Amino acid sequence: MRENIIEKSSELFLKLGFKSITMDDIAQEMGISKKTIYIHFNNKTTLVEECTMFIFHKIVDNINCIRDLQKNPIEELYEIKKIVMLHLHDEKGSTEFQLQKYYPKIFIALRKKQFQIMEDCIVDNIKKGVGEGIYRENINVDFIGRIYFSGVTTLKDHDIFPEEQFPIKVLMDDFLEYHLRGIVTPKGRKILNALINSNHE
């Protein structure tokens, strides 16, 4: 039951926001009593924390599956972007904002975990790309990794990128291409152009 509550609550939080959904909403959606939820979770904050980590680990597991396929580094980043887009598909724009505003401690803990995973993933991707001759040798790996993370997290700031002007799919595509064009070699550029052209067909 505990796992079912986390799964259903996560789905509702992503669709309607952490602040918007109440314990009553979850109980009604699941056809159980609110008391049943409180048997497993002391309060809503505990449930939000569990759901946030559940969503995070689900995305990380999917990313690791892609990394295990050993694709070339450029293709790998495009596959990871697809996973992130699938996750964002059901997410309401204000979800992350609500987490930051109403559950700041959970938001900070999540951001730290995101940074650790992203840094590991991007740094590994860059080193692999340099080794394969598709990324330039003279790049500062740690700098690029941090700039990439900073850029990705900023994309969801609707003050900087209003949704009506910058649809998230186009934004993600443009950002990834911007990142890659700054670090690819001529060999890498051919792979990148082929991927972009195939995605546009």
Locate 62 and state its tokens.
Answer: 């999917």
Whether 8 is in a domain gets the answer no
Provide mean pLDDT across the span 38-44. 96
**Residue, of 199 and 160, whose pLDDT is higher:** 160
CATH of the domain at 75: 1.10.357.10
For residue 126, the enclosing domain spans 44-200
pLDDT for residue 93: 55
Provide mean pLDDT across the span 59-80. 94
pLDDT for residue 163: 84
**Residue, of 170 and 47, whose pLDDT is higher:** 47
The phi, psi pair for 125, rounded to 5°, reads -60, -45
| Alpha carbon distance 145, 62 (integer Å) | 20
Provide mean pLDDT across the span 92-100. 76
Q: Does residue 175 contact residue 151 with C-beta atoms inside 8 Å?
A: yes
Whether 95 is in a domain gets the answer yes
| Domains of the chain: total | 1
**Does the pLDDT at position 167 exceed 60?**
yes
Whether 176 is in a domain gets the answer yes
pLDDT for residue 92: 54
Whether 69 is in a domain gets the answer yes
Provide mean pLDDT across the span 30-36. 96
Whether 49 is in a domain gets the answer yes
pLDDT bucket at 83, cuts 50 / 70 / 90:
confident
Whether 168 is in a domain gets the answer yes
Neighbours of 97 (CB within 10 A): 18
**Does the pLDDT at position 200 exceed 70?**
no
Question: Would you tell me the crossing angle of helices 23-30 and 44-68 to the nearest 10 degrees?
Answer: 60
The contacts of residue 50 (CB under 8 Å, 6+ apart) are: 6, 41
Whether 5 is in a domain gets the answer no
**Does the pLDDT at position 198 exceed 90?**
no
Look-up of token digits 């295990």? 68
Whether 7 is in a domain gets the answer no
